[in-house]
Amino acid sequence: MAPFSTILFLVLLIAPLCSATLGVQYYDQTCPHAEDIIYQTIRNASFFDPKVPARLLRMFFHDCFIRGCDASVLLDSTPENKAEKDGQPNLSLGAFYVIDAVKTNLEKACPTTVSCADIVAIAARDVVAMSGGPYWNVLKGRKDGRVSRANETVNLPAPSFNTSQLIQSFANRGLAVKDLVALSGGHTLGFSHCSSFEGRLHNFSSVHDTDPSLNAVFAQSLKQKCPKPNSDRNAGQLLDPTSSVFDNNYYKQIISGKGVFASDQSLLNDYRTGLIVKAFANDQATFFREFAASMIKLGNVGVLENGEVRLNCRAVN
């Protein structure tokens, strides 16, 4: 795990995407050590499980894209309700136990103070910085939601989306084209199972068995890992060859025709996004700056003003 290497202190005005008042210093008086507690707990967990950074970053995206950044993704299903985490796109989410550990430690230090939604937002920043990426000041003061429905996860952008579909999905959440390309760079951390991209490898169309936008050598490598039929449910591919390091390699992979997801590869050939992909591939500092700004913007989506601070992130109070 790389140390904090790139520090970008960004203090932005609150975007008009949320109705609640967020602030960098929200817990300075009520829980002054909150961010230290979150960081140390996540760092310890990442030491024992290197998958934690990618999982916590993805958790933040999946939370904010459904009902906004309200920690609804953390709620467990009940006999009366199937929650978001049990929706099909979220079945591969993990590391919920890390959020549980953070919450337990925070409740000991400052009970009923730090929301689960803020924990998820701060955790996403911390895992990026721990992995060698940018650091930004997280705006805090989110409240936790009380509603979580599995059927709403169909609104998450799919790995098979084309660029127009991605742009619309992000625009529905107040996010611009540059935000789409920057936030897609979060795929520099992580892994995908074959099910998310195998449609590109076999019977792609009536003309091509394999997606022609894929690098031919890379496509053969993916086919070996994901044969048809495939009996190995754990088989898949790293989304970036330096998948434990937050860098701009993801964009270089796309330019080389080695984007794992169709949605990722589509960004290169669309006039609205292609130049941004190339700019981020050529200049990691620019990518880091734009990623941090877009993460702050994403963190403002659908923030609750009248929610609660859960005692247990898995259940409403």
| Residue located via tokens 């890390």 | 98
Q: How many angstroms separate the CA atoms of 247 and 166, rounded? A: 22
The verdict on whether residue 232 carries a ligand-binding annotation is no
- Give, in order, the Cα–Cα distances in Å from 310 to each of 6, 111, 203, 316: 33, 10, 47, 6
Token look-up 């989306």 returns: 161
Q: Among 62, 193, 202, 208, which one carries the catalytic annotation?
A: 62
Q: Report whether 63 belongs to an annotated binding site.
A: yes
Distance CA 274, CA 152 (A): 30
Does residue 70 have a known ligand-binding role?
yes
Which ranges in the chain belong to alpha helices (H)?
34-48, 52-64, 96-109, 116-130, 163-171, 177-184, 216-225, 249-255, 262-266, 274-282, 284-298
**Residues 263 and 157: beta-carbon distance below 8 Å:** yes
Q: Phi/psi zone of residue 166: left (φ > 0), alpha (ψ -120 to 50 degrees), beta?
A: alpha
Q: Which residue has the tokens 């599995």?
A: 150
Residue 72 marked in a binding site: yes
208 a catalytic residue: no
Please name the residues in contact with 14: beta carbons below 8 A apart, sequence gap of 6 or more. Answer: 21, 22, 139, 300
Q: What is the CA radius of gyration of the chain?
A: 19
Cβ contact 93:59 at 8 Å: yes
Q: Please report where in the chains the tokens 């803020």 appear, as a residue.
A: 118
Give the relative orientation of helices 116-130 and 96-109 as an angle to the nearest 10 degrees: 110
Is 157 known to sit in a ligand binding site?
A: yes
Handedness of CA 281, 284, 287, 291 (dihedral sign): positive
**247 labeled binding residue:** yes
Helix (H, G, I), strand (E, B) or coil at 308: strand
Binding residues for heme b: 187
Binding residues for substrate: 157
Active site amino acids: 62
Binding residues: 63, 68, 70, 72, 84, 157, 187-188, 240, 247
